[in-house]
Amino acid sequence: MLKPKSVVIIGASREPEKVGHVILQNYINAGYDGKLYVVNKNAGEIMGFKSYKSVLDIGDRIDLAVIAIPARFVPQALEECGKAKVKSAVVVSGGFAEIGNNELQDALTRVAEKYNLPTLGPNCLGVMDPRSRNDTLFLPTYKLSKPQVGGVSFVAQSGAVGSTILDLIGGEGFGLSKFISYGNAAHVDEVDILNYLMNDAETKVIVLYIEGIKRGKDFVEIARRISKVKPVIVLKAGRTSAGAAAAHSHTAALAGDYQLQEAIFKQFGFIVANDLSELLYYAKIFVTEQRPKGNRVAIITNGGGAGVLTTDAIASSGVLELAELSAATKKVLQKSMPVLVNVRNPLDLAGDAGSERYSAALEALGTDPNIDMLIAIVLFQTPGADSKVAAKMVEYKDKTDKPVIVLSIGAEYTQMHRIMMESAGLPVYDSPMSAAQSLAALYTYSKYCATHK
Amino acid sequence: MLKPKSVVIIGASREPEKVGHVILQNYINAGYDGKLYVVNKNAGEIMGFKSYKSVLDIGDRIDLAVIAIPARFVPQALEECGKAKVKSAVVVSGGFAEIGNNELQDALTRVAEKYNLPTLGPNCLGVMDPRSRNDTLFLPTYKLSKPQVGGVSFVAQSGAVGSTILDLIGGEGFGLSKFISYGNAAHVDEVDILNYLMNDAETKVIVLYIEGIKRGKDFVEIARRISKVKPVIVLKAGRTSAGAAAAHSHTAALAGDYQLQEAIFKQFGFIVANDLSELLYYAKIFVTEQRPKGNRVAIITNGGGAGVLTTDAIASSGVLELAELSAATKKVLQKSMPVLVNVRNPLDLAGDAGSERYSAALEALGTDPNIDMLIAIVLFQTPGADSKVAAKMVEYKDKTDKPVIVLSIGAEYTQMHRIMMESAGLPVYDSPMSAAQSLAALYTYSKYCATHK
């Protein structure tokens, strides 16, 4: 399904506003280099492709069928895929259990089971794998920033939330491994997907957005094993009773008791997010595969106030501690820093600090055994902070074995440097709270891994 | 100090890296149209301006002296300002109580008091008033997005936090009334500034970043009165004991007992922020001067999952309720919406919803007496959402008396529409939590105002 050598689009269309047209166009635009077939009952030729009346007429091995036709025709089309020995199917069509059409969805499930044909959806966006250029998403490309190739795999029940996150990842420096939107989960569900991603070497971090869990026992089984292999960040929608009712109307999901689910997530080392923004904050630090040895954080800053706010955020995380600088580090810093710099943690380098002062501070803190993680605050509005400081941060990250993140808050000039640092694998945060929360999550996960081998 | 007709820069310099040079250059670049004088003991002429040896030699009425010279010379320079009957002073120089130099700071305070000369600082950025083009900030302009003229006044003890926020406001659609960075508060302090801004008609919202409160009793006195006049959003640094210690080393502030302070803030109707990002979230909704009549929120969305997450955020705010649509509204919607749309709150218009469907939904909800506030989720990644939907939102905001905000999450295409809507006075949020938190704060403040007349 993710790396098909041949794809058929069932419901491909000449009309630009049709989903089947957008999907075909996206395959062409993405430069997909496998075999591409189209099926449409009426059209003889679509965008240069010969159109077959049925998948049974193609007479070639098909790895993936993308089905984008009205709901009532879907079970029959899937039946034909089964007979034609198609290897997998993605049903993007909506109009099933999410609007109460349970019988039609059951019919679809029965066909998938009868032919043992892995079927994703219905009511979903399908899959995207930037490495294989396989992309079933029916979204206009000009509206979406396309993500780079990377290590984060994103699993979303909801199509729109998925595409939103995909767009956000496109604006970030880190890249995407797989995107999987599974909608109503009539056949393939979150348990199957987690099983696959757990063993996928291209995936370093799994980000999971779910509305309901269908196979509770099997979910617990995979949950018990997966965090020991790679981190899973989870955002559950329908955490409140009002939200659960809304979720049921959306993907027919039964949201269940969130307190129980959250307890399970935490017990098995999942990183629990409470908002969409947190998914990205966590993804960007976990994908670096940095792991801290302890919970003691050092802060260097070129703005005193930002240092104070970050200290508050660290102290109120409930997990992290402010590191006590070693005597040796203090000695080194007292020599290398200007008189105005008060040698303590947070270390305020003052607003005129440039790359040399940052460099000297990083060197000193980097070898301090009392420090497990480092937040470097670089406020690019100050007179001393420039691209050389950003370059120094990237250089330092490759030299130290301590997790290091940057906190840079601001508009254009700052954003330019953020993208530059993130593209080099250095996570950059835009608020003290998100920085502290992310380090706290990283530490908590590392501790989980150390005690659950 | 904020709208001077004449300014003298004491310590102006020819050397580009000197603070006094940057300040003078910024006055010239900003197109300041009052009289500009420069004082420098050594130079005969600086950037085309005749340089005076002392402010006493100028022989003209001076409204504002900006002092940017080494700390030890500051009390003498201020003394000369006093003798020359200068109306106000901003001391940007550092090197006073924040590095333990309490005596020098006391000397400065005594001079300010002796001449009854309102003096801001030391160790501060000073003031910016985009309407009068008065700007004492010694920051390179290319690093900073300049804010538009607007109704938010920002008061910051810390210079770097202040400039960071200023930069962020520059990237937002709403504008700035006054920026005041007051540093060590040797003379003018947060109480004086709040007193001024309370009566300033150009200021609709006050955003306050503080590290310590010096005059506790006077602060309580102004706090008791100010929220009835206009909203005050406050972020206190040094909320934890580790943070308080860091704050003391930064601006010599005694952070005090935060639990007590927070209780006072809340008792007197302040909007309490816990992170820098929250200051902007709150500022953008309060500056619209919208006030809800109750706490019942309706959600319309073009993405089901985002609707569920926003429902969770509303329900977990502790303050807001999900509105129950009236029978009349339901009837209207059942007629005007496609069959796939499930008529309930959140109202999921589906991914193909364009401006017409948004328009019909907004009309119906706008007249529903069961609804006090509205969140319109517009995910621009979906096929139907485009600039027409954004324009419709702006149009609707001007027609309804219910507070309305937009939730749009995404990269470039989304950001373009965000700026467009915000510039028209419609607040746009980038996460369900921030949207819900902001409406909750707005409702809480409105309730405070209704019960404290």
pLDDT digits (tens, 9 = 90+) for A323-372: 999 999 999 999 999 988 889 999 999 888 999 999 999 999 999 999 99
CB A7 within 8 Å of CB A34: yes
The answer to whether the CB of B51 falls within 8 A of the CB of B28 is no
Q: Residue B119 pLDDT more than 90?
A: yes
**DSSP assignment of B137-206:** --S-GGGSPPPPEEEEEEEESSHHHHHHHHHHHHTSSS-EEEEEE-TT-SSS-HHHHHHHHHT-TT-SEE
A168 within 8 A of A194, measured Cβ to Cβ: no
Q: Is the pTM of this model over 0.95?
A: no
Dump the DSSP string for B44-108: SEETTEEEESSGGGT-S--SEEEE-S-GGGHHHHHHHHHHTT-S-EEE----SGGGT-HHHHHHH
Are A401 and B155 within 8 A, CB to CB?
Answer: no
**Please, how many CA atoms are within 13 Å of residue B144, restricted to the half-sphere of its CB?**
21
Confidence tier at A50 by pLDDT (50, 70, 90) = very high
**What's phi and psi for A186, nearest 5 deg?**
-65, -30
Task: Over range A5-30, report the average pLDDT.
Answer: 91
| Domains of chain A with bracketed CATH | 1-123 (3.40.50.720), 144-287 (3.40.50.261), 296-451 (3.40.50.261)
CB-based contact, B295 to chain A, within 8 Å: no
Both tokens assigned to B133: 């083009």
- Minimum distance, in Å, between the CA of residue A410 and any CA atom of chain B: 5
Check residue A72 and report its DSSP letter: G
Give the span between the Cα atoms of A202 and B101, in whole angstroms. Answer: 57
Q: What percent of chain A has pLDDT over 90?
A: 78
pLDDT digits (tens, 9 = 90+) for B198-220: 999 999 999 999 988 888 899 99
Nearest CA in chain A to B436: A275
Nearest by CB to B351, which of A157, A159, A251?
Answer: A159
Q: A158 and B302 in contact by Cβ < 8 A?
A: no
CB contact under 8 A, B167 and A414: yes
> Three-state SS for B424?
coil
pLDDT band at A253 (very low <50, low <70, confident <90, very high): low
pLDDT band (50, 70, 90) for residue A142: confident
Size of interface A-B (CB pairs under 8 A): 262
- Would you say A168 and A100 are in contact if contact means Cβ atoms under 8 Å apart? no
Six token digits for residue B21: 């040079």
Position A251 scores a pLDDT of 66
Length of chain A in residues, anyone?
453
The complex scores an ipTM of 0.90
Task: Look at residue B278 in the predicted model and tell me its pLDDT.
Answer: 95
Task: State which residue of chain A sits closest to B299, comparing Cα positions.
Answer: A246
Q: Indicate the burial class of B48 (C-beta count within 10 angstroms; 0-12, 13-18, 19 or more).
A: exposed
Q: Determine the distance in angstroms separating the CA of B59 from the nearest CA of chain A, rounded to an integer.
A: 34
Q: Is B251 on the interface with A (CB under 8 A)?
A: yes
Q: Does position B251 have pLDDT exceeding 70, yes or no? A: no
Mean predicted confidence (pLDDT) in B271-294 = 95
- Mutation test of the interface with chain B: which of A381, A382, A434, choosing the one with the most B Cβ atoms within 10 A? A381
Residue with tokens 């210690």: B245
Are A345 and A323 in contact, with CB atoms under 8 Å apart?
Answer: yes
pLDDT for res A139: 80
CB A408 within 8 A of CB A417: yes
Amino acid occupying residue B57: D
- pLDDT level of residue A108 (50, 70, 90 thresholds): very high
Return d(Cα B384, Cα B350) in angstroms, integer.
Answer: 9
Closest CA to B430 of B362, B390, B377: B377
Asked if the C-beta of A60 comes within 8 angstroms of chain B's C-beta atoms, the answer is no
Residue of B nearest to A434 (CA): B275
